[in-house]
Structure 1
Amino acid sequence: MTTYKLTYFNITGLGEPIRYLLSYGGIKFEDQRVSFEEWPALKPKMPLGQMPVLEIDGKQYNQSKAIMRFLGKKFNLYGSDDYEALEIDAAADSADDMRQAISSYHWEEDAEHKKKMKDGAFKKMAFLLDKLEEQVKKNGGYLVRGKLSWADILYAALCDYLCNILGYNVNKDHVELKKLVDKVAATPNIKAYLDKRPKTQM
């Protein structure tokens, strides 16, 4: 039997979309949550010194979106043709652009630089939220072609992270996106994961 182990911090972040996808696919996996104190000792053992890392039968695989695309294909969440896959990739990149803008701002340690970053980060998030809202409205409640894809699951999981670090629901003014996130969270296997998810730092 194939074994799966995901190694990431005890936060949502880039690990949570993978946890959602594994759960959606009904895959039992070891969810290794690393503390910030443990990370320096573990870092040299990780490909490129980064997490998340997914081990499949002991072999390590890195790069979060590469892992998500792999799981998206495995669980038939990657569209019915290459053009649909292209649309899904584009939607996923847009969602991740939003995460990167806010995350870079949030984790910036230089107070002066952080102050300068704030306006741009929040403008980018607002712009992308509006565009993604339009996209979901046009596509029957999903990001691409009226059906669930790995980009929808990525978006829902990243919103979980952004809501945690910002302290409010980023979809509060975007009804279609909020409904999308609720649909993903209500998917039976993801709901089961969320019901028993360990308390995360953010």
Structure 2
Amino acid sequence: MPAYKLTYFDFRGLGEPIRLLLSYGGQEFEDVRMEYGGEEWQKFKPNTPFGQLPLLEFDGKQIFQHVAVARYLAKQYKLAGDNDWEALQADIVVDTINDLKTKLYDALWGPDPEIVKKNYEEAVKTTVPFYLEKLNALATSGYLANGKLSWADLYFFAFIELLESFLKETSLNDKYANLAKVRDNVLALPKVKAWVDKRPKTEY
């Protein structure tokens, strides 16, 4: 039985960067998936430290907060940078991606459909291009930090899959050629590719 157990909902979401990193590291793990808002999750929720997922368990420990978990795994697998400066560059990229995620929430969900529609149109027209252009400029080497593979690249890979699922108009293609290369470089990693090929197919 795998020594690592990842519990998350039945979609890629915040759990996918962790799954990608575990796969990259060659770590076998139990991929537990629950229906979002379902009865199983409601029963399990009190067993989590702060009532949230993803939750990674190993060696009798429970760790959560998906960015912190991903950063921990990145350190284990030598993807966090060779020194503090390199680690900072990767952290900056991940934090920037999360800034964009935050700005996208209002474009995808909300009680007022008209406001959501307006926010969605603004995201497609202005917000997403602004961020992708800036990130594209960082990735001239085909990597987002320090000119070499880091956890920021795997994190971006998970994010761009979600972005293209949610915002159908958005695609890297030729407009963001450097970011397309980042995606291709990540997918070219044999253990990552093996995970992507075998993982459950979900829309998000």
Distance in 2 (alpha carbons) for counterparts of 1:114 and 1:41: 32
Structure 1 residue 160, shift from structure 2 partner? 1.1
Which letter maps to 1:27?
Q
Shift of 1:197: 0.7
Partner secondary structure for residue 78 of structure 1: coil
**What is the letter of the counterpart of residue 82 of structure 2?**
S
Give 2:117's aligned amino acid: K
Find the residue that maps to 1:142 and give its secondary structure: coil
Give the CA deviation at 1:45.
2.0
Distance across 2 between alignment mates of 1:84 and 1:16? 23
Paired AA for residue 150 in structure 1: W
Name which of 98, 101, 104 aligns with 1:99. Answer: 101
Aligned to 1:15: 15
- The answer on whether the counterparts of 1:102 and 1:162 sit within 8 Å (CA) in structure 2 is no
CA–CA separation in structure 1 for the residues paired with 2:113 and 2:195:
37
Map of 1:125 onto structure 2:
128
The alpha-carbon deviation at position 119 of structure 1 amounts to 4.5
Using the size of structure 1 for normalisation, the TM-score is 0.91
> Residues 79 and 104 from structure 1, CA distance in 2 versus in 1: closer, same or farther, beyond 3 angstroms?
same
* Mapping for residues 25-174 of structure 1, pairs under 5 Å: 25-36=25-36, 37=38, 38-122=40-124, 123-137=126-140, 140-167=141-168, 169-172=170-173, 173-174=175-176
Percent of aligned pairs with the same residue? Answer: 44
Contact kept in structure 2, 1:8 and 1:33, CA below 8 Å = yes
Q: For 1:57-113, what per-residue CA distance to the aligned partner results, in whole angstroms no more than 9, with x for missing partners?
A: 232101011001101100000111101111110011112222232244223343133
Q: Is the partner of 1:189 in helix, strand or coil?
A: helix
What's the RMSD between the two structures over aligned residues? 1.8
Return 5+ residue gaps in structure 2 as ranges: none
* 1:194 aligned residue: 196
Aligned to 1:54, what secondary structure does the other structure show? strand
- Runs of at least 4 residues off by over 4 Å: none
C-alpha displacement at 1:169, in angstroms? 4.9
State TM-score, norm by structure 2.
Answer: 0.90
- In structure 1, the gaps of 5 or more residues are none
1:168 Cα deviation from its structure 2 partner? 5.1
- Whichever residue aligns with residue 144 of structure 1, its letter is A
Judged with a 3 Å threshold, the aligned counterparts in structure 2 of structure 1 residues 40 and 117 are, in CA distance, closer, same or farther, namely: farther
For residues 109 and 23 of structure 1, the distance between their equivalents in structure 2, rounded to whole angstroms, comes to: 38
Tell me the distance in 2 between the aligned counterparts of 1:165 and 1:132.
Answer: 19
Q: Name the counterpart of 2:182.
A: 180
